[in-house]
Every structure is written in C-alpha cells, then in structure tokens.
Amino acid sequence: MQPIGKSGPLSYSRNYVWNKKDCVGKGATAEVFLGRHRQTGENCAIKLFNVREFMTLAASSKREIELLGKLKHRNVITFLASETELSTGNEILVTPYCQGGSLFSMLEQPQYAYGFPEDEFLIFLGDTSRGMEYLRSLGITHRDIKPGNIMKFIDKSGRSVYKLTDFGAARELKDEEKFQSLYGTEEYLHPDMYQRAILKEPGSQFFDASVDLWSFGCTIYHVATGQLPFQAHGGRINTVVMHKITSEKASGVISGIQTEPNGAITWSKDLPNTCLLPQSLKKLLTPVLAGLMETDKSKAWSFEQSFSHVKSIISRKRMEIFYQAACLELILYMREDDKYCNIQEEAAQYTGVIPENQLLLFRDKEFCNYVSATEKICNYPRKAFEGDIYLFNRDTLAEMNIYVPETVPFPSRIPTSDLIEDVELAKLRCSVAYFYEFHTEKVVRCQQRVKQSVFYLRDYIRDYLNPINVWLTETKKLKAESERTLGILDSSLKLFGSMLPVLNLTSYKDIEKVVEFANKQDVVDNLKGSLAKEDKRINEIDVYLQVLLEKIKEQDPVVTSVGWQEEQFWVSTIKQFRLTINGVLSTFRKHKRYGDLHPHEVFIHQAEMQKLEESNLQILSVFQGYLDNLKRICGEVKKHSGLLLKHLTRAKKVEVNMKCVIDFHKEIDIRLGKLDETYKEAALTLPQLLGSHAIEVLPSKNDGNSFLVKQAASTQESTSKGKISQCGATDFTDKQLISTPSPASKSKMYCDLARQLNETRLETESTMKNLTENKKGLESIVTMLQNGGEC
C-alpha cells in the first residue's frame, strides 16, 4: 500500500519522495514527477521508467542512466541519482528539477506562438549549442534533439539555463562511426532517417552523428518562429508530403509549408515577418539554419562550422540605434573587433542612409566624439550599448517612411459547438493578443524615443554652436590684442626711426638691426589693413550666429509642446484585453474538460465567447489608434527635426567661416611674431649702447660746437648727486652732427636726443614687457582655438 499524503499518493525511493499527483511530464518511455530529497527537502525531478514496457526499455533506461552519470556540463541535465521506487522496484532517474519546463511546453504557450523574444532566444541558442558541442567532444550522438528534450532551469540569479535532457536514444560513437537504429521525433527528423523510420522505405542503412544537426536546425527554427519549419497539410499523417518537403527542398530553403490539402508548398529562404527577432539577427541566423537543414552532404554544415557560427553570433555586440527618420529601433549585431565605420556601414544596410549622411548621436553628443574611430567595439564603454544612440539623416529631403510593425489578423471564428475547437480558437487569439502586446511595447518605446530624439538633436546643435560663439568672442579678443601689439610696434618703430640720427653718431655696432626694424613700416601698414578687413567678416559671422541661436531658441516651445500623448497606459490597456482573453481560454479549457456543459455553463461559454470577440476588436482598434498617434507624432517630429537639421547645415557653414577667420588670425599672429622678433633684436641691442646708464649730452668745450654724450652710473645717481661720471663718455663734435643753424639749437637738439634715448630705453623695457604679456595672451587664445574651443 502506498502512503497517501493529503495532496495525493506518495512514492518513495531510498533518498527521495514524490507525489504521484505532481506529474510534470510524460514521455514515451517514462513519467516525470516533481520530487524532494528526503533529508534536505531539495526539489528534484524523478523520472520513473514505464513499468509495463520496462523489460523492453530496460536497456535504454540503463544506457541513459549510465551515460548521464558520465556527463557534467552546465547545459546538460545533471545526474543526481538512480534508485528504485521502494513499492514497485521500478527504476528512477533523479535530476535537478527544471522549473521552466521543456522548450516544447514553453512553445505551446500562447505568448511564444510567434517564437521567443530576442534575449531568451539568444540564451537558448548559446546554451543548446554549448551542450551539443560538449556531447560532440565526448563522441555522443543524442539522436533525439527537439524542444521537448531541452529543459529550462532557472538559476539562483533568475537567469534561464537551457539543458539537454533525455539521453534514452543517445549513443557513444567513435569518429565518423555510423549507426542503423532508428530514433528521433518526426518533425525534427533528418529526411534519410524519416524515410526509413516513418515511411518504412529502404534508404540509407547507415546514419551518422550529423542527424543531430538537422534536428538542431529544426529546433532553432521552431524556437525562433513558434512554428515547425516543414509542415505538410494535415500534420503527422501526411508523411509522404512531409518527406517530399524535407528531401526535395532546395539548398538555402529553411521552411516549406503546405497549407491546403494537396496544395502547393510555400518555400522560404527567410524567417517569417511575424518572427519577433530583429532583422539583423535573422540575417545571421538564416545561413546557420540553411547549413544545418541541408540534405546535400557536400553543402551541409559540419559540427565545427555550426558551433563556430553560433559562437560568433553569441559573441557579437548588440547595439541599439534609434533611426529617427523611420522611427525604427535598429538592432545591430556587431563583431567585437568592428569599429565605428563598420557601425555606419551596417546602419546604412538597414536604413539606406549612406555614412556621409549619417548623424549618429550618443544622446546629445556626436557618437564619434564619444568613442574613437579606431577603437574596437568590444572596448566601448558599457553605456554605448544601453540604447542611447540616435541616427539622423542629414539629407532632409530624403523620404521618411515610418516603420510600421507587422500585424496579424485575429483568426476568425467558424460558429461551432465543438469545445475543443473553441479552446484552439481562444488559444490562437490569445497568441495574437500577446503579439500585439509585444508590438505595443515597441510602439511606446519608439514614441518615447522619437520625442527624445528632437531634444537631443536640438541640444546637440546648440552645443555645436556654443564653441563657435566662444571662438567668436575669443577671436574678437585676439583681434584687439593683435591691434594693440601692432600699435605698440608701430610707435616703437616710429621712435626707433627718430632715434636713427643720434645712433648714427655713436660707434654703435648693431645699428643695422635698428634700421631693419625701422624699415618695417610697410609691414605694419599691411597688417593694419588686413585686420580692418577681417573686422567686417567677424561682424557678419556674429550677426548670422546670433540669428541662428535665436531661431533654435524659438523652436524650444514647439519642440516641447508637440502633441505628445500619454503612452503610459498603452501597454497596460492592451495587457488588460489580453488578460481577458487568457481568462476566456482557461474557462474554455475547463469546459473542454467537463465535456458536456450544463445550460448555465453554456450561457457562461457564450458570454465568454462574446468577451473574446469584443476583446479582439478592442485590441485591434486600440493598437491602430496607437499607430495613428505615433504617425502623427512622427510627422510633427519630422517637421522640427527637419528644421533643426537645416540649422545644423547652417551651423556647419558658420563653423567653416569661423575656421577661416581663425586661420587668418593665426597667420596674422605669425606675421606679428616675426615683426616682434625684428623689434626685439633691435631693442636688445640698445642696452649695449646704453648699458643701464642714463645718457646726458653736454657741451664739452665752451665753443658751443663740441658735446659730450655722457653715461651716468645710474639715472638715480645723476639726478640725486648732480654728478656725472666721465667714464665711458663719448666725444662728439658738431662735425659729426647734422648742421644746425646755431649752437644753442644744436645744444637743444642734443639734449632732446639724449632725453629720447633715455625714454627709448624705458619705453623699450615696458614695450618688451607688454609684448611678452600680449604674446602670452595671443598664444593662449591660439592654443584654445586650436583645441576646438576648450578653454
């Protein structure tokens, strides 16, 4: 007698206990129960091999247990124990309990009727491929790869881990060894195996490990689309057509479906539009599917080829770019060593916007400034993958076709009193409701992002103009500094010019340097003329820039007030309708179990059917409303972003002009620098003549014709003590001087010259100081401008 727990009859093995009511799955060979370890209470799955057929299956169950005991991999179900049921002596296989159930049970759920969403799909693909690669490395052929034999385990962090299970048909094969026994499940069976196992026709007597690859291909297709790749009308009974489809399909074809009895087969080399995976992932996946589901052995992919392709897909970096003009979430799968230009090329493929016309923003910054052009994508900062990249088409005249998500009709109802068909109908409609829920989430995201895109674009253009504005202000300063320097040099030039006569009287060796500087008047005049001309250009840019900034500012209220509709309830509204349909489905399932309905239940059934019809209509009309709203908003956005993009073109022109002005000033700076050098060379020679002494010119004799040019020990000494040092005094005679009418006027002239020399010395000192400061100012502005406006 089996003990009966409150919830049902209990079964025991030495270390495990399970409730016969907790059956989680039934296969051809066994039943699986949710069990617990008797000491630890840990959950587990108890696979109880079929009693009646035990004798025939003994070998296979023994093999499964033995084989599983040898395997240890994250993506292969873990062997925990093999024991016997105490009451019957039946063998049990204990494995960890996979809360997510099998892939098959998941695909049976309406939410996966159109396949897995991208993130879950990639986990499945990577995990299953790794599990298969592990088996391959041990020379094990599974021989029954299908969604029903792939379990979803949820780890401690809540992440899905897919694990291969059911090794009842598996065999260890040595290199290239073939086998004859027939295993597998029809829909996933290699055509050669199908021919022998299902059609019972003579065909190839031997199969090799590659039969697993065909099944893997069919499984991937099923998980990606929610559908089987090859379907004959009528299902399993239509075996001849099924075999025809798989064996006659052309290379590259990844699905063949017959929808009418004896009807034509619809072939496809692509995944269906209803598939929820992004276009770029589909594109990477189709060659894998075509290679796996290939009958021509010379074209079929090897294990190594298949695994390495899957690995390359999984290792790719997923980049989300919002293509503003089409309101499209563009998902790109980039290679790890791709660079910025590859992103542009890839984006061009899906949008038609050539790289030159692409404006890629990371929020409100240009993306190419955020990451360097030579940087590998794998080294990009994490933020680059968080969906903040926006793509704009600089070509404002380009057509803007809003991307409209795929829609599917709700299956129509053929009035019937068949409860099984009603369940099917509710299930299909529930699937469609999930489909719209998925797309509503997408529409909401797109609407939020298309709104956000205008703000980013506006901020980007404003930030683009800001440094130009700073350059302009700095250039004005530069101009003023240049003018000041030029003014100083001009007056020094004049002073030096006027000094030449007296310098000619001395034994001053470096006079030619002073002469050289004094002869630069034409250079000074030239520079003055150029600066005056440039002044006009700077003023024009200033006016244009201010108008542009004003125009962008004018857009602010418009940008913020575009008829944004609150989308926060959109998803929850659709979800509510879908939940209603879920409710109808469970009522119908209950009614199906009842079989015969009581009149009150018939009434409920009809009312639920009514609810089903209404919810379908509501979902369609609400979804259409969202789409219309999205289109309207996109229209508004297009207007504003079009204007902003035009402003950007203008800003670019201002930038070009501004750069010319900056270049001009750099040139002026160089020319001023040269003049400055000439000046300094001349000025630096003066101390040799003057030393640090003041100069005085005195009559040396009382004839009024001879004079002494005396250098005092210091200006201070000469004034305070009233003494004049004789040392270093130079004698001049009036013969050496230009003739003057009278000694008195000569004396005055010499005095003037002496004063001038002293003044020159002081003036030169301060000019040098001024020029050094000016030069520093000029240099810092030039450096700032060279660095693109960063002060």
Ligand X SMILES: Nc1ncnc2c1ncn2[C@@H]1O[C@H](COP(=O)(O)OP(=O)(O)OP(=O)(O)O)[C@@H](O)[C@H]1O
Residues that are catalytic: 144
- State yes or no: residue 485 binds ligand X (CB under 6 A): no
Q: Which stretch binds ligand X (CB under 6 A): 97-105, 366-374, 505-513, 585-593?
A: 97-105
Q: Could you give the angle at the alpha carbon of 221 between the alpha carbons of 219 and 226, nearest 5°? A: 95
Residues with Cβ within 8 Å of 312's Cβ and at least 6 positions away in sequence, in order, are 335
Give the separation between CA 369 and CA 389, rounded to whole angstroms. 12
- Mapping DSSP onto H, E and C, the string for 365-392 reads EEHHHHCCCCCCHHHCCHHHHCCCEEEE
CB 221 within 8 A of CB 230: no
Per CB under 6 A, the segment of 14-22, 25-33, 515-523, 637-645 that binds ligand X is 25-33
Given a contact cutoff of 8 angstroms between Cβ atoms, the answer to whether 233 and 261 are in contact is: yes
- Exactly one of 75, 149, 215, 469 binds ligand X (CB under 6 A); that residue is 149
98 is a site residue for ligand X (CB under 6 A) = yes
102 binds ligand X (CB under 6 A): yes
If binding is defined by CB under 6 A, does position 27 make contact with ligand X? yes
339 annotated binding-site participant = no
Q: Which of 25, 35, 131, 184 binds ligand X (CB under 6 A)?
A: 25
Shortest Å distance, C-beta 331 to ligand X: 32
Among 151, 332, 645, 672, binds ligand X (CB under 6 A): 151
Task: Please provide the distance, in angstroms rounded to a whole number, between the alpha carbons at the two ends of the chain.
Answer: 89
CB atoms within 10 A of CB 34: 17
Rounded least distance, CB 97 to ligand X, Å: 5
Give the residue with the Cβ less far from ligand X, 27 or 583: 27
Is residue 166 at the binding interface for ligand X, with CB under 6 A as the rule?
Answer: yes
Task: Please tell me the total number of residues recorded for the chain in this structure.
Answer: 791
In the bound state with ligand X, the residue whose beta carbon lies nearer, of 166 and 294, is 166
The window from 27-35, 124-132, 589-597, 604-612 that contacts ligand X (CB under 6 A) reads 27-35
DSSP element (H, E) containing 597: none
Residue 314 Cβ vs ligand X, minimum distance, rounded to whole Å: 24
**Those residues with Cβ within 8 angstroms of residue 692's Cβ, 6 or more apart along the chain or in another chain:** 714
Strands (E), 659-705: 695-699
Contact call for residue 225 and ligand X (CB under 6 A): no
CB atoms within 10 A of CB 597: 15
Locate 530 and state its tokens.
């150029």
Q: How many CA atoms lie within 13 A of 37 on its CB side?
A: 13
Site for ligand X in 174-193 (CB under 6 A): none
Neighbours of 783 (CB within 10 A): 11
User: Applying CB under 6 A, which part among 163-171, 398-406, 452-460, 732-740 lies near ligand X?
Assistant: 163-171
Regarding 4 and contact with ligand X (CB under 6 A), the answer is no
Residue 79 CA to residue 348 CA, distance in Å, equals 50
Q: Are 784 and 669 in contact (CB under 8 A)?
A: no
- Region from 91-99, 567-575, 615-623, 721-729 binding ligand X, contact rule CB under 6 A: 91-99
List binders of ligand X among 32-51 (CB under 6 A): 32, 45, 47
Q: What share of the chain is helix, strand, coil (3-state, %, to 5)?
A: 55, 15, 30
Q: Is 101 in the site for ligand X (CB under 6 A)?
A: yes
Shortest distance, CB of residue 161 to ligand X, whole angstroms?
A: 12
Contact with ligand X (CB under 6 A): which of 95, 225, 351, 453?
95
With binding defined as CB under 6 A, does residue 211 bind ligand X? Answer: no
Between CA 562 and CA 566, with CA 565 as vertex, the angle to 5 degrees is 135
Amino acid at 679: Y
Minimum CB distance to ligand X, residue 35 (Å): 10
Please say which residue, 151 or 276, places its beta carbon nearer to ligand X.
Answer: 151
Residues contacting ligand X: total by CB under 6 A? 22
Binding site for ligand X (CB under 6 A): 24-25, 27-30, 32, 45, 47, 77, 95, 97-98, 101-102, 105, 148-149, 151, 165-166, 168
Which residues are part of a known binding site?
47
Point out the annotated binding site for ATP: 47
